């Protein structure tokens, strides 16, 4: 991961469509309160594990709080046994045949991810009681499919106005298109003004190159639905959600700027910084989306997931297009 002392964060569209029937809200309020607390702790956990130097004490503290809220930490073998790929098949799920049939996927044992699960029973929606179980994956190692990282030097050939050129510009897509409010831009002036007093937004600058680094972590949530009166044999994986946290670092080793008297000066300052960008698609981890999918005719699990993250720099040059893990079932995260 990059830049452990990350302090600048931009929240992108943390919009969750978790509204049910009005008559059901009283019965579900306690469950929603627990879910909100769990989601808040998972966000904090993601902040901890995305850093280059992980504070184990802070991580253990979050995990203990999650356990007190009902989170169960699973091994990969437990995930394979309890959540086989066959649970994505709606026909098998509704017939209660997902447990007895062996998983079609066999992968070597690994230690790439942390797997967590919790269950919301007796969830009332539309006059029916549902049992909802969530399986959550967060990366433990950089080799996890839930991690993307890299670095690149990007060169430039033209002069810019400091207030117009962007050191970082980003946008995030889900399967249904651009996430509303996900476009972010950091102007060159905003990146360097605290390092150099003799520059304004209209100052002309020459920048030979910028070194970029990025690290993106994905949290994946698999939502399994059955009627409260049924056993787990009848669970169906109805909703797959992902959200991302991406740290983009930049280092500007040197650049020239034109002063008000018309002379060019070479800055003696090394400029570096970073931004953390959060991407959450509409409908992420929504029990309404999961139940709608469960009650729909046919079809596979719904996805409310991030499909790509585009990072660009000055002159509209693409720094990197990140394709986060877009899982079809849990073991895709391995």
Using pLDDT thresholds of 50, 70 and 90, give the confidence band for residue 109.
Answer: low
Beta-strand pair 177-178/72-74: unpaired
Q: How far is CA 28 from the centre of its chain?
A: 26
Q: Is the CB of residue 164 less than 8 Å from the CB of residue 158?
A: no
> What average pLDDT does range 1-12 have in this prediction?
40
The dihedral through the CA atoms of 292, 298, 301, 305 has a sign that is: negative
Q: What is the pLDDT of residues 262-273, one digit of tens each?
A: 899 998 789 999
Percent of the chain past pLDDT 90, that is, above it, reads: 63
Residues 6+ apart with CB under 8 A from 86: 92, 97, 98, 101, 102, 103, 104
Q: In terms of Cα–Cα distance, which of 208, 314, 197, 307 is closest to 259? A: 197
Q: Which residue has the tokens 């080793």?
A: 253
Using pLDDT thresholds of 50, 70 and 90, give the confidence band for residue 333.
Answer: very high
Whole-number average pLDDT of the chain? 86
Amino acid 214: pLDDT: 95
26-40, 80-94, 144-158, 196-210: least confident range: 26-40
Structure tokens at 108: 């070597």
Amino acid 250: pLDDT: 97
Q: Residue 85 above 60 pLDDT?
A: yes
**How would you class 112 by CB atoms within 10 Å of its CB: exposed for 0-12, middle for 13-18, buried for 19 or more?**
middle
Distance, in Å, from the CA atom of 67 to the CA atom of 61, rounded to the nearest integer, reads: 10
> What average pLDDT does range 280-306 have in this prediction?
91
Q: Residue 7 above 50 pLDDT?
A: no
39-43, 130-134, 167-171, 298-302: least confident range: 298-302
Structure tokens at 264: 């060019």
Distance, in Å, from the CA atom of 39 to the CA atom of 241, rounded to the nearest integer, reads: 13
């Amino acid at each position: 991961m990059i830049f452990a002392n990350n302090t600048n964060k931009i929240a992108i569209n943390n919009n969750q469509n978790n509204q049910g029937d009005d008559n059901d809200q009283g019965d579900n309020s306690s469950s929603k309160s627990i879910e909100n607390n769990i989601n808040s702790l998972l966000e904090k956990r993601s902040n901890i594990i995305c850093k280059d130097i992980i504070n184990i004490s802070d991580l253990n503290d979050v995990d203990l709080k999650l356990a007190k809220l009902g989170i169960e930490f699973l091994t990969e073998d437990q995930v394979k046994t309890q959540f086989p790929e066959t649970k994505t098949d709606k026909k098998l799920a509704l017939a209660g045949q997902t447990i007895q049939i062996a998983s079609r996927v066999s992968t070597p044992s690994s230690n790439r991810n942390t797997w967590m699960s919790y269950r919301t029973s007796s969830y009332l929606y539309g006059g029916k009681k549902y049992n909802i179980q969530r399986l959550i994956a967060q990366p433990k190692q950089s080799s996890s499919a839930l991690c993307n990282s890299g670095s690149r030097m990007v060169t430039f050939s033209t002069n810019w106005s400091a207030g117009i050129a962007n050191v970082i510009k980003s946008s995030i897509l889900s399967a249904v298109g651009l996430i509303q409010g996900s476009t972010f831009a950091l102007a060159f002036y905003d990146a360097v003004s605290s390092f150099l007093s003799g520059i304004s937004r209209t100052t002309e600058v020459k920048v030979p190159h910028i070194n970029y680094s990025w690290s993106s972590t994905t949290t994946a949530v698999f939502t399994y639905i059955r009627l409260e009166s049924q056993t787990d044999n009848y669970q169906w994986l109805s909703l797959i959600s992902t959200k991302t946290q991406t740290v983009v670092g930049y280092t500007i080793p040197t650049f020239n700027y034109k002063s008000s008297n018309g002379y060019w000066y070479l800055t003696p300052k090394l400029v570096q910084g970073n931004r953390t960008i959060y991407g959450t698609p509409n409908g992420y981890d929504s029990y309404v989306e999961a139940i709608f999918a469960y009650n729909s005719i046919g079809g596979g699990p719904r996805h409310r997931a991030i499909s790509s993250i585009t990072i660009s720099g000055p002159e509209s040059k693409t720094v990197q297009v990140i394709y986060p893990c877009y899982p079809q079932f849990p073991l895709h995260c391995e």
